[in-house]
Amino acid sequence: MLELNHLSKTYQTGNQAYPVLKDISLRVEKGEFTAVMGPSGSGKTTLLNCVSCFIPFDEGEIHLGDTVMKNLTEKELAFVRNNRLGFVFQDYMLFDGLTVFENICVPQIIRGGQIPQMETRAKELCRLFGIHHIAEKYPVDISGGEKQRTAVARALMNDPDLILADEPTGNLDSKSCRTVIDSFLKAKEELNATILMVTHDSFAASFCDRVIVLKDGRIFQEVVKMGSRQEFFDELLDLLRELGGGENDGE
Amino acid sequence: MTANKLYAKLRYYNRKNYLMLFLCTVLSVMLITSYALIYLSPTVQNVLPAGGDSRKQAVMIFAVAIVGCAIFSTYASSLFLKYKSREIGILMALGDRKGQLKKMLFSEIMLVAAAACAAGLVLSFPLSYGIWRIFQLLIVDTREMGYQVQGAGLLFGVGFSAVLVLCIFLLAVRFINRTNVMDIIYEQRKSEPIRDVGKWTGVTGVILLILGLVLGYLVPVAVFKLFHFYMPSVWNVVYLLSAAGIYQMMTFLAVHSRRGNHPRKYYRNLISTSMMRFLGRQTVRNMCVIILLTGGALFAAFYLPVTIMGVKENVRNNPVDYLFTYPSGQIQFRESEIEALADAHQIKIKGYQELPSLNLQVDGYEWVYQKSGKVDMIYHDVAGTSTFFNAEDLSVLLKKTIEVKPGEYRMIASVPTTQADDGLPTLITDPVTGEQNPVQYVGTVEFAGRFFNTPEGINTCYVLSPEDFARYDNHLKGADRNVTVAFGVEHWEESYAFAKNLKDEMINRYPGETVKDLMDRPIELSPDNPELSRSWAYYPLFKPLQSQDYMKNMAVFFMLFAYIAIICFTAVGIIAYTRGVTIAVNQKHVFVDLERLGADSRYVDRCMKNQLRRIFIYPYLTGSIAALGFIMMILYTNDGRISIAEAKATGINLIIMAGLGVYLFLVYAGTCKKFRAVIRES
Q: Which of residues 99-128 of A touch B (CB under 8 A)?
A: 102, 105-107, 109-111, 115, 118-119
**Is B144 a residue whose pLDDT tops 60?**
no
Answer with the residue of higher pLDDT: A173 or B329.
A173
Chain A to chain B, count of Cβ pairs less than 8 Å apart? 72
One-letter amino acid for residue A121 of the chain: R
Q: What is the pLDDT, as a whole number, of residue A134?
A: 94
Cα B432-B436-B438 angle, rounded to 5 deg: 140
Helix axis angle for A174-191 and A144-156, nearest 10°, is 20
**Is A249 a residue whose pLDDT tops 50?**
no
Q: What is the 3-state secondary structure (H, E, C) of B597-626?
A: CCCCHHHHHHHHHHHHHHHHHHHHHHHHHH
| Cβ of residue B603 closer than 8 Å to a chain A Cβ | yes
Answer with the residue of higher pLDDT: B268 or B373.
B268
**Contact residues, chain B, for A105 at CB < 8 Å:** 267, 270
Nearest CA-CA partner of B551 in B64, B139, B142: B139
Q: Which helix (H) or strand (E) holds B428?
A: strand B427-429
Answer with the residue of higher pLDDT: B196 or A78.
A78
Calpha distance B654→B662 (Å, rounded):
12
C-beta atoms of B598 and A109 within 8 A: no
Answer with the residue of higher pLDDT: A110 or B667.
B667
Mean pLDDT score of chain A, rounded to an integer? 88
- The pLDDT tens digits for B433-482 are 888 999 999 888 988 888 988 876 677 899 999 999 998 888 777 678 88
**Predicted model pTM:** 0.72
**Is B376 a residue whose pLDDT tops 90?**
no
C-beta atoms of A111 and B270 within 8 A: no
Domain boundaries, chain A: 220-251
| Cβ of residue B599 closer than 8 Å to a chain A Cβ | yes
**Is B139 a residue whose pLDDT tops 60?**
no
Interface probe for A, chosen from B266, B590, B597, B602 (most Cβ of A below 10 Å), is B597
Reported confidence tier of residue B637, pLDDT bands at 50, 70, 90? confident
Answer with the residue of higher pLDDT: B559 or B162.
B162
Calpha distance B83→B555 (Å, rounded):
43
- The pLDDT tens digits for A74-105 are 778 888 888 898 988 888 888 777 789 988 98
| Cβ of residue B271 closer than 8 Å to a chain A Cβ | yes
- Alpha-carbon torsion (B388, B392, B396, B402), positive or negative: positive
**Is A196 a residue whose pLDDT tops 80?**
yes
**Is A55 a residue whose pLDDT tops 70?**
yes
**Residue B503: Cβ-neighbour burial (10 angstroms; 0-12, 13-18, 19+):** buried
**Contact residues, chain B, for A88 at CB < 8 Å:** none
| Cβ of residue B93 closer than 8 Å to a chain A Cβ | no
Supply the DSSP symbol for B50: T
Supply the DSSP symbol for B562: H
Q: What is the pLDDT, as a whole number, of residue A251?
A: 37
Q: What is the pLDDT, as a whole number, of residue A248?
A: 45
C-beta atoms of B267 and A97 within 8 A: no
| Cβ of residue B281 closer than 8 Å to a chain A Cβ | no
**Is B152 a residue whose pLDDT tops 90?**
no
CA B199 to each of CA A181, B130, B272, B575: distance values in angstroms, whole numbers, following the listed order = 41, 51, 18, 28
Predicted complex: ipTM over 0.90: no
Calpha distance B59→B77 (Å, rounded):
27
| Cβ of residue B263 closer than 8 Å to a chain A Cβ | yes
Q: Which of residues 173-232 of A touch B (CB under 8 A)?
A: none
